[in-house]
């Protein structure tokens, strides 16, 4: 009788990791041998599985003539679901800031196109430069856009609002500042064609919102009662508390208070926050605040979030407001 040869610990661990990765079994065929015919009889085919790290791996097959082309995609890895959510919030905050800088640049270009480069003779430009201090706009962004206004072929920007019906009865308002409407409108329609939603007539959604100034304060940077006292004493209309995510175990993490104010009291609120040493972020000139929030189911919520995300990827879109709860 032949004696079985003992495997090394490294070999055993390696084999064990395969069992964890493929708990439901795995084909011994090389990955290259997989084809769209073996996955599906249709022209497009796909299957998905979760790796041991929890990341979804998808293999897509697309047939070209007599050959099969296979694409493998892997989602970004995060150390747990909570880390992924925090990273997503930070990315969203950075994207919001970049949008604000982009809009400010467009406003500078438009002001110079209409009234010239001198703040003395151009009140609109002078107002923007003062607003830059309020918003902490970096100087290089200001200088770059002043220079861009002089470039040949650069047109003035036009502000437009597009209203959209989302899923579950939610409404959306898309704010754009564009130098070419013939480019912007088709891009928005294409997003709605691919991800759902429907263009609404002017005024159909807008009446559900009010225009106001908003100051954003990170929840972990301030005491709730202190912030309420400061904001209301300075003339704020409302303080919107951050939504509580059921997946967040640490209260206040990456969540924000929104101080809602009229145009007249906005500067006083900023001054008071500075006096108290509270860090804050300003808006881009104004926000649209929903008068009443619409509650939708989980599926509609995810679909609406996807529409908003895709609209914000468009260069001409500066903001998307929604009354979804």
pTM for the model stands at 0.61
- pLDDT tens per residue, range 146-199: 888 888 777 878 889 999 999 999 999 999 989 888 999 999 999 999 999 999
Q: Highest mean pLDDT range out of 48-57, 175-184, 251-260?
A: 175-184
Task: Specify the pLDDT at position 111.
Answer: 86
Task: Specify the pLDDT at position 90.
Answer: 55
Confidence tier at 282 by pLDDT (50, 70, 90): confident
Query: Is the pLDDT assigned to residue 74 strictly greater than 50?
Result: no
CB 289 within 8 A of CB 209: yes
To the nearest 10 degrees (0 to 180), the angle between helices 81-115 and 139-148 is 50
Query: What whole-number distance in Å separates Cα of residue 304 and Cα of residue 166?
Result: 6
% residues pLDDT > 90 (the chain): 32
Query: Is the pLDDT assigned to residue 42 strictly greater than 70?
Result: no
Query: Is the pLDDT assigned to residue 131 strictly greater than 60?
Result: yes
Chain centroid to CA 63: how far? 34
Confidence tier at 207 by pLDDT (50, 70, 90): very high
% residues pLDDT > 70 (the chain): 68
DSSP SS3 for 219: helix
pLDDT, averaged across the chain: 75
CB 209 within 8 A of CB 172: no
Query: Is the pLDDT assigned to residue 260 strictly greater than 50?
Result: yes
Task: Specify the pLDDT at position 283.
Answer: 80
DSSP assignment string, 171-197: EEEEEEEES-HHHHHHHHHHHHHHH--
Query: Is the pLDDT assigned to residue 70 strictly greater than 60?
Result: no
Query: What whole-number distance in Å separates Cα of residue 125 and Cα of residue 122?
Result: 5
Task: Specify the pLDDT at position 92.
Answer: 62
Confidence tier at 58 by pLDDT (50, 70, 90): very low
Query: Looking at 115-119, 186-190, 209-213, which range is the least confident one?
Result: 115-119
- pLDDT tens per residue, range 3-41: 444 555 555 445 444 444 444 444 444 444 444 443 343
- Where residue 146 falls (left for φ over 0; alpha for ψ -120 to 50; beta otherwise) is alpha
Task: Specify the pLDDT at position 245.
Answer: 52
Dihedral sign for Cα 188, 191, 192, 193, please.
Answer: positive
32 Cβ partners below 8 Å, 6+ apart? 70
Scan for tokens 């995609």, then name that residue: 73
Confidence tier at 290 by pLDDT (50, 70, 90): very high
Query: What whole-number distance in Å separates Cα of residue 208 and Cα of residue 288?
Result: 9
CB 300 within 8 A of CB 165: no
Query: Is the pLDDT assigned to residue 71 strictly greater than 60?
Result: no
Query: Looking at 67-76, 108-117, 225-234, which range is the least confident one?
Result: 67-76
CB 150 within 8 A of CB 164: no
Chain centroid to CA 323: how far? 16
């Amino acid at each position: 009788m032949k004696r079985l040869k003992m495997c090394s610990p490294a070999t055993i661990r390696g084999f064990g990791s395969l069992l964890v990765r493929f708990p439901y079994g795995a084909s011994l065929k090389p990955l290259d041998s997989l084809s769209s015919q073996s996955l599906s009889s249709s022209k497009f085919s796909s299957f998905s599985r979760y790796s041991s790290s929890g990341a979804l791996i998808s293999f897509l097959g697309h047939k070209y003539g007599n050959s099969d082309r296979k694409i493998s995609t892997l989602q970004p890895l995060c150390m747990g679901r909570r880390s992924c959510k925090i990273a997503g919030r930070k990315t969203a905050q950075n994207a919001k800031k970049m949008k604000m800088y982009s809009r400010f640049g467009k406003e500078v270009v438009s002001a110079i196109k209409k009234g010239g480069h001198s703040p003395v003779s151009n009140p609109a430009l002078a107002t923007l430069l003062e607003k830059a201090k309020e918003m902490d706009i970096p100087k290089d962004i200001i200088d770059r856009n002043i220079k861009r206004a002089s470039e040949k072929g650069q047109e003035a920007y036009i502000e437009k609002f597009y209203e959209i019906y989302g899923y579950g009865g939610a409404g959306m308002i898309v704010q754009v500042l564009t130098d070419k409407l013939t480019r912007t409108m088709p891009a928005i329609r294409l997003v709605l064609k691919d991800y759902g939603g429907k263009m609404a007539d002017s005024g159909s959604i807008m009446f559900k919102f009010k225009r106001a100034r908003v100051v954003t304060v990170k929840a972990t940077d301030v005491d709730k009662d202190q912030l309420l006292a400061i904001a209301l004493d300075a003339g704020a209309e409302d303080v919107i508390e951050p939504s509580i995510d059921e997946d967040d175990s640490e209260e206040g993490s990456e969540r924000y208070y929104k101080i809602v104010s009229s145009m007249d009291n906005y500067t006083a609120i900023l001054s008071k926050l500075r006096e108290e040493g509270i860090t804050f972020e300003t808006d881009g000139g104004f926000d649209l605040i929903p008068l009443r929030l619409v509650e939708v189911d989980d599926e509609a919520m995810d679909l609406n979030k996807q529409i908003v995300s895709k609209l914000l990827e468009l260069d001409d879109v500066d903001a998307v407001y929604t009354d979804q709860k």
